[in-house]
Structure 1
Amino acid sequence: MFVSYKWLEEYVNLDGMTPEILAEKITRSGIEVEGVEYKGEGIKGVVIGHVLEREQHPNADKLNKCLVDIGAEEPVQIICGAPNVDKGQKVAVATVGAVLPGNFKIKRAKLRGEESNGMICSLQELGIQGKLVPKEYAEGIFVFPGDAETGTDALKRLALDDAVLELGLTPNRADAMNMLGVAYEVAAILGRDVKIPETSYQPGTEKAEEYIAVQIEDREANPMYAAKIVKDVNIGPSPLWMQTKLINAGIRPHNNVVDITNFVLLEYGQPLHAFDYDRFGSKEVVVRKAKENETIVTLDEQERTLSADHLVITNGSIPQAVAGVMGGADSEVREDTKTILLEAAYFSGNTVRKASKDLGLRSESSIRFEKGIDPERVRLAAERAADLISRYAGGTVLEGTVEENHLDIKPKVISLSADKVTKVLGVSISKEEMADIFKRLGFSVEEAGGKLIVTVPTRRGDITIEEDLIEEVARLYGYDNIPSTLPEVTGFTGGLTPYQEKRRKVRRFLEGAGLSQAITYSLTNDKKATAFALEKSFKTILSLPMSEERSVLRHSLLPNLLDSVAYNLARQTDSAAFYEIGSVFLKVEEQTKPVEKEHVAGAVTGLWHKNLWQGEKKPVDFFVAKGIVEGLLEKLGVQEGIEFVQSERKELHPGRTANILHNGSLIGFIGQLHPSVEKELDLKEAYVFELDLHALFALDVPAIAYKAIPKYPSVTRDIALVVNKDIASGQLEDVIKKAGGKLLKEVHVFDVYEGEHMEEGKKSVAFSLQYLNPEQTLTEEEVTKVHDKVLKALEETYQAVLRG
């Protein structure tokens, strides 16, 4: 929710408080302010100019030579390339010395031989996003209304001297998705009153019921529908003050009627829709469920196929809008519209969400219906919009409102015990202080039987039980005023469980290896939920997700972890190494609850070693990632029985992927991302791993046994073996270890060769073997005996021969 500071001042006296201080107070009371944006920050020297003359540039077909009054002693000449600039217009002029977004400074210049003393600006050049600019000014300069005063500050007239607070609202705080809701919140924080907009208009002599009737067929999906009729409207631009409020809230202006419905949506939180009455097609509104495969062309000019789950507004036969989501193109308000059918209704959030999801349409209207609107404001919002239409579109509002109302939502009455508040919060707050907090919030309070009886207005649908009231007391009393205390316990010394100790070891090792911890959502979308899954599982789908991107519980940590890697690389970070320890959610049978298992996953890309002055750069490869995993397993004491077996996984490179087995059981995998996945995520070569910590931590690990440092020297022998290409080095290593017995202490691969001097279908694998007897110095005969045994075992098992 974007909240204009200057607009908020119209409802609550902020007493000159800075936007930053206000943001801090709102955040400390429980609603996070994610940022404060100063709309015209860095811009200066932009004034309103009056174009006195315009003529074609003598040396350029697409340039205009304009004489502009900027409120100075003499008019100035400005060369302008905008196609819509003309004599008599009031325009935004960046004068010589002005600064525009991006620290772009305006200087005197000559364009094709003609002097230019400034710049006539479009809204985009003043920092307004193109998608928010009214369509008539999308390709040229902006033109002010004729009453704009020449030479005055253009930024002020465009509300670019405003600050916008971005509220990060949780799903339960739908009441703050409108300006009045935020005003109630701020008024409670500051102890001020809320100024409600006044509505007054003179209704016409005709009655609305003579023009329209309302019939609801599905009362559960639509318990209330109200319609008003406004005649003799003149469609045109809305007032500039209204347009700028919409733009600062992230909504593009269209025309006076549509802008008024959007303005009231932002002000009251009540979605409205204006139909062209003459194009509506009948004198009755029938709200019903759509017929299977019925179609409608929505305002975005897309044909939508409906199902029987979708609620539609019809003229008795043909759908004219998808209820709560979007109107139809057939009855939209156009330039020649003269009579308005104004809709104000209460639609079920579940019904609206179903249609929004199925049709792929998410609008400002649907968002508010999904989260819940205030039933008490349905009529109020309709009256407010009718009043504004009569003022700014010249319409005559017909007498009365035609409605069908089966809505039965009453204010909640909750009793609250002061003792319980003290017990829950750990601080003593008097009944008088509590009552004052509730009154500041706009709740009515009485005392009976030693308890506070609180009546909660319908706008606060999130408050239903005693604990909700306690939370309101806590946040308005001030979390900072509640002392921090430790629980009183006896006979408990504390400490980590074995599982927690192992988890801490994992975290410390990976961070010591150079990986940074990431924490991502447990929820993801339908496509990503099963990607990289270590084991097969049915999906766990939320019944009421916040969004489609957060609707399914994950089976793997990697999809969201890779999103974090991609996010960082997109911001000029050339290398990234992340890990995450978190839960995945798996279920063997579809109708059961998921089992929560803890995994660890890592993703690395870019350079592992940078080319410092004395070294060389080393990019990440498979063996870097494998080394991290092997080091982690060694740290956990899980070394015996571990195998890395080449395998194939859908999302990973077919030649650089391995399953990680412990005594034959799958505990994880490692590999390079498949090139198609790298391309999709816009990543360079990246390597990933994921391990089942739940299984790893459950393994019996022998206690650490320390050994004395050997007093006797070791003997190293290197061998290069020629074997078939399909034999993995790990298989050869297993044979070497078994044959080498107690004297063989270390074995590792140091070279693989498949060059032109090698026989077809063969490769050379070189191993370094270290022999050691901790009790005495090894003789040449002892080493040769064991070494020959190793070579014989290799020859018998894999027909391996020494390379000549």
Structure 2
Amino acid sequence: MFVSYKWLADYVDLSGITPDELAEKITRSGIEVEGVDVLNDGIKGVVIGHVVEKEQHPDADKLNKCQVDLGTGELVQIICGAKNVDKGQKVAVATVGAVLPGNFKIKKAKLRGEASNGMICSLQELGVESKLIAKEYSEGIFVFPNDVEVGSDALEQLQLDDAVLELGLTPNRSDALSMLGVAHEVAAILHREVKYPEIQYPTASEKAVSYVNVKVEATDDNPLYVAKVIKNVTIKPSPLWMQARLMAAGIRPHNNVVDITNYVLLEYGQPLHAFDFDRFGSKEVLVRRANEGETIVTLDDQERTLTSEHLVITNGTEPVALAGVMGGANSEVQSDTKNILLESALFNGQRIRTASKDHGLRSEASARYEKGVDPNRVHAAAERAAQLLSQYADGEVLEGAVEVNAQNFEPAVVQTTVEKVNKVLGMNISTEEMVTILERLQFDVTQDNGTLTVTVPTRRGDITIEEDLVEEIARMYGYDNIPTTLPVGQAFPGKLTDYQEKRRRVRRYLEGSGLYQAITYSLTSEEKAARYALETSDITKLSLPMSEERSVLRLSLLPHLLDAVRYNVARQIDQVALYEISSVFLSQGADVQPLEKERLAGAVTGLWHAHSWQGEKKAVDFYVVKGIIDGLIELLGLSKDIQYKQAKREGMHPGRTAELYLDEKLVGYVGQVHPTVQKELDLAETYVFEISLVDLLVAHVEETRYEIIPRYPSISRDIALVVNKEVVSGDIEQVITEAGGKMLKEVSVFDLYEGDRLEEGKKSVAFSLRYFDPEKTLTDEDVSKTHEKVLKAVEEKVGATLRG
């Protein structure tokens, strides 16, 4: 919302406060002022000039030699290239020494041999945006009305000696989408009164009801419709001050009738529409839902096909406006319009939003309907527009209005207590202070033993519950006055939880290992959603997706992570190592919010080490990525609890994939992407992992216990076991560990042999075992007893024999 400082001063006394000071106060009260634009900043020396004579430049076809009266008693010669410059016009002239936007200084000059003592300016040259300038002056100079005084300040006449405050409004503050709404806010902040426009105008003897009949079929969509009739209007430019205010608010002037409806829209926040009554087609106004396939040509000359979800204004048979969005071309106000049918109505915001979205039409009117307008300003806005049409379009306003009112609009009544307000704010505001604040906002308040009963004006539709009242009191009392206190309780903000601290350690570890963090979309396509999923689940579809590519919630982080790897490789970044910590979404059934689970995923491709000086290169392989995970598991203290098991998963290499189990629960997997998928993505060997991070971070970890450095030596034994090829070395290691008991401290695989020296279907796996007793030096006899148990256990449980 753009708010003109000078215009605002019509409704509330702003004496003694600058635009910047006002912006600061508004921001501190809860509505952010995003900027203050001083319209004449850096501009000086621009006055009103009167073109007394104009003739063709003797040596240039596109230049004119003008004699201009600047009010000094002498004519000055100015060379002008504007097509529309002419004798008798009053124009803006930048005199010699003047400064225009961009620090452009005007000096005496010669153009094709003729002296030029100044510059006749267009509005663009005075800093006005091209899109805001009336079409007749969009290419050329601006021509002032004849009643302006020669030699006076042109910026003052154009109301460019003003400042515009840009309000960044949240959706709930639709009341501030009008000048009067902002005036109420400012008046409350400054402890001043709001002055509404006085509405008085002469009416004709004829009555509006004899000219038009209004019928509303869709009363849920249109509970209130008001129509007024204004005859014998004269279409002409609106007053200069009105054009200037519209441009300051970001609206282009058109003609007096259209400008008046836009002016009242900004003033009251109530959209209006003016129909050419003679082109309307009948005396009947019928508001209904559109028929399926029905069409209308709107003011932008586009034919639009309607559905039953759209609300239309009709003349009884055909649509003449898309309600609350845009009027129809068949009833447009034109230069020959004489009689006006003025519409002021209350439309359902959702219905207007549907039409606006379906047709890609976003207007000042639709924006206000969507957020909500004040039902008690519908009549007042119509009367204000009738007054201005009478005053500036010479219209004859017929007596009364024709309306349909299907609903009673009562102000909301909300209760709270002084105790509740002070408890929420942590303050001790007195009852009298609270009542004063609410009365400054022009809320009716009654107080009974600490209970405040507040009648909220209909313009503040955002106030519905007692927490809203607490907020109003807090912001008007001043957020800066809320005391700073230390938190009280068992949990203190600012400290990471155990889960958060572990997650941060995981991030630091991965980045220290050479991986870069990636952030990808949570939304994906149905095709990609279930790929690489750790857990099976139905997919969760969005009701209103942006596109098919972003229509469902993901079940795995890897598909988009692989897309990121492909994106980088395609741009000649051959070494890519990415990780992501984010959520996947598991369905819990229809109409139930999905379960959100945090995952850790990674993808690595290319060279892991490349030391060109030493000539050393090492490509990423399975054990590099497994080593990263091993380090992470060790960091979290879960080394003894995690097991790897060979696995086959869709989209993964059948021989280079392992699953991770925590206490027999599947918590992740690691491996190479299937060669077919790599080829589809145009990738070299790529290794990935995905782990249920939440399971790792909440797992119980034994407290760290420190042991005395060993005083006694250990004894190592190496064994080579012959087993069937399908036996997994991890299973053998587990059997050895269990059989070795406390004396066996370490077990590791150091060799694998498969060849012609072994029977068909057999393999040899060699293990190194280290035995140790902290209390004494072990003898061969001590170790042999335990070692025999180990050999017996592997023979019985996995069918292993000691290789000779």
Structure 1 residues 108 and 631: alpha-carbon distance in aligned structure 2, compared to 1, 3 A threshold? farther
Corresponding residue number in structure 2 for 1:427? 427
Corresponding residue number in structure 2 for 1:120? 120
Structure 1 residues 227 and 111: alpha-carbon distance in aligned structure 2, compared to 1, 3 A threshold? same
Structure 1 residues 104 and 560: alpha-carbon distance in aligned structure 2, compared to 1, 3 A threshold? farther
Corresponding residue number in structure 2 for 1:181? 181
Q: How many residues align?
A: 656
Q: 1:324 deviation in Å?
A: 0.9
Q: 1:199 deviation in Å?
A: 0.6
Q: 1:425 deviation in Å?
A: 1.6
Corresponding residue number in structure 2 for 1:447? 447
CA–CA separation in structure 2 for the residues paired with 1:34 and 1:109: 41
CA–CA separation in structure 1 for the residues paired with 2:56 and 2:578: 60
Equivalent residues of 1:529, 1:554 under 8 A apart: no
| Residue identity opposite 1:341 in structure 2 | L
Corresponding residue number in structure 2 for 1:395? 395
Q: 1:441 deviation in Å?
A: 0.2
Corresponding residue number in structure 2 for 1:342? 342
Alignment of 1:271-286 (within 5 A): 271-286=271-286
CA–CA separation in structure 1 for the residues paired with 2:526 and 2:20: 39
Corresponding residue number in structure 1 for 2:129? 129
Q: 1:499 deviation in Å?
A: 2.1
CA–CA separation in structure 1 for the residues paired with 2:14 and 2:172: 26
- CA-to-aligned-CA distance 1:627-665 (integer Å, 9 cap, x gap): 99998996785999899x9x99xxxxxxxxxx9997998
Q: 1:102 deviation in Å?
A: 2.2
Equivalent residues of 2:431, 2:450 under 8 A apart: no
Alignment of 1:273-312 (within 5 A): 273-312=273-312
Q: 1:668 deviation in Å?
A: 11
Corresponding residue number in structure 2 for 1:458? 458
Equivalent residues of 2:132, 2:247 under 8 A apart: yes
Structure 2 residue 9 is the aligned partner of structure 1 residue 12? no
- CA-to-aligned-CA distance 1:675-734 (integer Å, 9 cap, x gap): xxxxxxxxxxxxxx9998657757899999999xxxxxxxxxxxxxxxxxxxxxxxxxxx
Corresponding residue number in structure 2 for 1:90? 90
Q: 1:597 deviation in Å?
A: 4.6
| Residue identity opposite 1:139 in structure 2 | E
| Residue identity opposite 2:542 in structure 1 | T
CA–CA separation in structure 1 for the residues paired with 2:68 and 2:515: 60
CA–CA separation in structure 2 for the residues paired with 1:56 and 1:341: 47
Equivalent residues of 1:538, 1:588 under 8 A apart: no
Structure 2 residue 229 is the aligned partner of structure 1 residue 229? yes
CA–CA separation in structure 2 for the residues paired with 1:529 and 1:267: 52
Structure 2 residue 199 is the aligned partner of structure 1 residue 199? yes
Equivalent residues of 2:530, 2:539 under 8 A apart: no
Equivalent residues of 1:667, 1:692 under 8 A apart: no
Corresponding residue number in structure 2 for 1:371? 371
SS of residue paired to 1:204: strand
CA–CA separation in structure 2 for the residues paired with 1:204 and 1:351: 36
Q: 1:588 deviation in Å?
A: 6.9
Corresponding residue number in structure 1 for 2:264? 264
CA–CA separation in structure 1 for the residues paired with 2:392 and 2:364: 23
Equivalent residues of 2:660, 2:667 under 8 A apart: yes
Structure 2 residue 82 is the aligned partner of structure 1 residue 47? no
CA–CA separation in structure 2 for the residues paired with 1:205 and 1:629: 92
| Residue identity opposite 2:2 in structure 1 | F
Q: 1:48 deviation in Å?
A: 1.8
| Residue identity opposite 1:505 in structure 2 | R
Structure 1 residues 62 and 189: alpha-carbon distance in aligned structure 2, compared to 1, 3 A threshold? same
Alignment of 1:463-474 (within 5 A): 463-474=463-474
Unaligned runs of 5+ in 1: 562-576, 604-621, 649-658, 672-688, 708-740, 745-773, 775-804
CA–CA separation in structure 1 for the residues paired with 2:128 and 2:671: 48
Structure 1 residues 491 and 114: alpha-carbon distance in aligned structure 2, compared to 1, 3 A threshold? closer
Corresponding residue number in structure 1 for 2:415? 415
Equivalent residues of 1:233, 1:394 under 8 A apart: yes
Structure 2 residue 542 is the aligned partner of structure 1 residue 540? yes
Structure 1 residues 528 and 518: alpha-carbon distance in aligned structure 2, compared to 1, 3 A threshold? farther
Structure 1 residues 701 and 253: alpha-carbon distance in aligned structure 2, compared to 1, 3 A threshold? farther
CA–CA separation in structure 1 for the residues paired with 2:671 and 2:58: 72
| Residue identity opposite 1:497 in structure 2 | T
Q: 1:202 deviation in Å?
A: 0.6
Equivalent residues of 2:540, 2:552 under 8 A apart: no
Moved more, 147-156 or 210-219: 147-156
SS of residue paired to 1:52: strand
Equivalent residues of 1:506, 1:632 under 8 A apart: no
Equivalent residues of 2:529, 2:552 under 8 A apart: no
Moved more, 33-42 or 593-602: 593-602
- CA-to-aligned-CA distance 1:454-501 (integer Å, 9 cap, x gap): 111111111112221111111111111111223433598995333201
CA–CA separation in structure 2 for the residues paired with 1:690 and 1:69: 81
SS of residue paired to 2:299: coil
SS of residue paired to 1:488: coil
- CA-to-aligned-CA distance 1:81-103 (integer Å, 9 cap, x gap): 11111111111222222222222
TM-score for both structures, normalised by structure 2: 0.71
| Residue identity opposite 2:54 in structure 1 | R
Corresponding residue number in structure 2 for 1:168? 168
Structure 1 residues 585 and 45: alpha-carbon distance in aligned structure 2, compared to 1, 3 A threshold? farther
Structure 1 residues 133 and 306: alpha-carbon distance in aligned structure 2, compared to 1, 3 A threshold? same
SS of residue paired to 1:85: coil
- CA-to-aligned-CA distance 1:527-565 (integer Å, 9 cap, x gap): 9999999879434347xx9x99xx99976999999xxxx
Q: 1:23 deviation in Å?
A: 1.2
Corresponding residue number in structure 1 for 2:718? none
| Residue identity opposite 1:138 in structure 2 | S
CA–CA separation in structure 1 for the residues paired with 2:212 and 2:220: 22
Structure 1 residues 497 and 277: alpha-carbon distance in aligned structure 2, compared to 1, 3 A threshold? same
Equivalent residues of 2:531, 2:559 under 8 A apart: no
| Residue identity opposite 1:200 in structure 2 | Q
CA–CA separation in structure 2 for the residues paired with 1:559 and 1:309: 38
Q: 1:219 deviation in Å?
A: 0.9
Corresponding residue number in structure 2 for 1:159? 159
| Residue identity opposite 1:538 in structure 2 | T
Equivalent residues of 1:539, 1:587 under 8 A apart: no
SS of residue paired to 1:36: strand
Equivalent residues of 1:667, 1:696 under 8 A apart: no
CA–CA separation in structure 2 for the residues paired with 1:493 and 1:131: 50
- CA-to-aligned-CA distance 1:616-636 (integer Å, 9 cap, x gap): xxxxxx99xxx9999899678
Structure 1 residues 378 and 642: alpha-carbon distance in aligned structure 2, compared to 1, 3 A threshold? farther
Corresponding residue number in structure 1 for 2:382? 382
Equivalent residues of 1:10, 1:195 under 8 A apart: yes
SS of residue paired to 2:282: coil
Equivalent residues of 1:50, 1:89 under 8 A apart: yes
Structure 1 residues 209 and 250: alpha-carbon distance in aligned structure 2, compared to 1, 3 A threshold? same
SS of residue paired to 1:220: coil
Structure 1 residues 559 and 667: alpha-carbon distance in aligned structure 2, compared to 1, 3 A threshold? closer
Equivalent residues of 1:513, 1:628 under 8 A apart: no
Structure 2 residue 75 is the aligned partner of structure 1 residue 75? yes
Corresponding residue number in structure 2 for 1:652? none
SS of residue paired to 2:205: coil
- CA-to-aligned-CA distance 1:362-382 (integer Å, 9 cap, x gap): 111111111111010000000
Q: 1:306 deviation in Å?
A: 0.4
Structure 1 residues 696 and 133: alpha-carbon distance in aligned structure 2, compared to 1, 3 A threshold? farther
CA RMSD of aligned residues (A): 4.9
CA–CA separation in structure 1 for the residues paired with 2:364 and 2:96: 41
- CA-to-aligned-CA distance 1:142-165 (integer Å, 9 cap, x gap): 111112222222222222221111
SS of residue paired to 2:375: coil
Structure 1 residues 485 and 135: alpha-carbon distance in aligned structure 2, compared to 1, 3 A threshold? same
CA–CA separation in structure 2 for the residues paired with 1:182 and 1:447: 27
CA–CA separation in structure 2 for the residues paired with 1:49 and 1:518: 63
- CA-to-aligned-CA distance 1:292-314 (integer Å, 9 cap, x gap): 01000111111110001111100
CA–CA separation in structure 2 for the residues paired with 1:375 and 1:286: 20
CA–CA separation in structure 1 for the residues paired with 2:669 and 2:403: 63
| Residue identity opposite 2:277 in structure 1 | Y
What's the % identity of the aligned pairs? 62
